[in-house]
Structure 1
Amino acid sequence: MGIFLTLHNLPPLLLFLLLNFVLPVVTTNSGLTTNSGLTVTLNITNRCSYTVWPAALPVGGGMRLDTGKTWTLDVPYDTTRGRVWARTGCSFDSKGHGFCQTGDCSGVLDCRSDGNPPLTVADFSLNQYTTNSFFDISLYNGFNVPMEFLPIQVKGQGSPGCSKGPHCAANITSQCPRELKAPGGCNSACTVLNNQYCCSGDDCDSNKYSAFFVRMCPEALSYSRDAPLSTAFTCPFQTNYQVTFCPPVDLTSSPKSPHGTIAIGASLVLGSVVGFILITAFISYIVYRRRTRRHQKMEDEEEDFGNLQGTPMRFTFQQLEVATKQFREKLGEGGFGSVFKGQFGEERIAVKRLDRAGQGKREFSAEVQTIGSIHHINLVRLIGFCAETSHRLLVYEYMPRGSLDRWIYHRQENSVPPLDWKTRCKIVTHIAKGLSYLHEECTRRIAHLDVKPQNILLDENFNAKLSDFGLCKLIDRDMSQVVTRMRGTPGYLAPEWLTSQITEKADVYSFGVVVMEIISGRKNLDTSRSEESIHLITLLEEKVKSEHLVDLIDKDNDDMQVHKQEVIQMMKLAMWCLQIDCKRRPEMSVVVKVLEGTMDAETNIDHNFVAT
Structure 2
Amino acid sequence: MKNKHWDWKINTSFFFCSDWAAMDVWKNPLLVLCFILCFSLQTHLSLGGDTISGNQSLSGKQTIVSAGGNFVLGFIKRGNSSSSNHYLGIWYGKVFVQTEVWVANRNNPISDPSSAELKLLDGNLVLFNESRVIIWSTNLNSTISNSAIAVMNDTGNFVLRAASNESKILWQSFDHPTHTWLPGAKLGLDKKTNVTQLLTSWKNSDNPAEGLFSLEVDPNGTSQYFLLWNRTRQYWNSGTWNGQIFSLVPEMRLNYLYNFSYVSNDEESYFTYSMYDPRILSRVIVDISGQIKVLTWLTNNQEWFLFFSLPREQCEVYAYCGAFGVCSENSLSSCSCLNGFVVKSPNDWGMKDYSSGCKRRTLLRCENNASSNEAENKFWEFSSTALPDNSHEMYSESDAACKLACLNNCSCNAYAYSGGNCAIWTEALLNLQQADDGESSAHTIHIRLAASELLSKSNGKKIVIAGVVSSVGIILLLGLVFLEIWRKRGSVVNPEVVEGSLMAFTHKRLQIVTKNFSEKMGGGGFGSVFKGTLPDSSVIAVKKLESISQGEKQFRTEVRTIGTIQHVNLVRLRGFCSEGTKKLLVYDYMPNGSLDTHLFHGKEGSKILDWKTRFQIALGIARGLAYLHEKCRDCIIHCDIKPENILLDANFCPKVADFGLAKLVGRDFSRVLTTMRGTRGYLAPEWISGVAITTKVDVYSYGMMLFELISGKRNTEQSEDGKVRFFPTWAASKLDAGEDILTILDSKLEGNADAEEVRKICRVACWCIQDGEIHRPTMSQVVQILEGLLEVNKPPTPRTLQVYFDTPEDIVFFTELSTSQSSQVQSNVSTSSQAKSTTSAGDKS
Q: Provide the TM-score with structure 2 as the length reference.
A: 0.33
Structure showing greater relative contact order (alpha-carbon pairs closer than 8 Å, 6 or more residues apart): 1
Q: Provide the TM-score with structure 1 as the length reference.
A: 0.44
> If each structure's strand is expressed as a fraction of its own residues, which one has the higher value?
2
Structure with larger Rg: 2
> If each structure's helix is expressed as a fraction of its own residues, which one has the higher value?
1
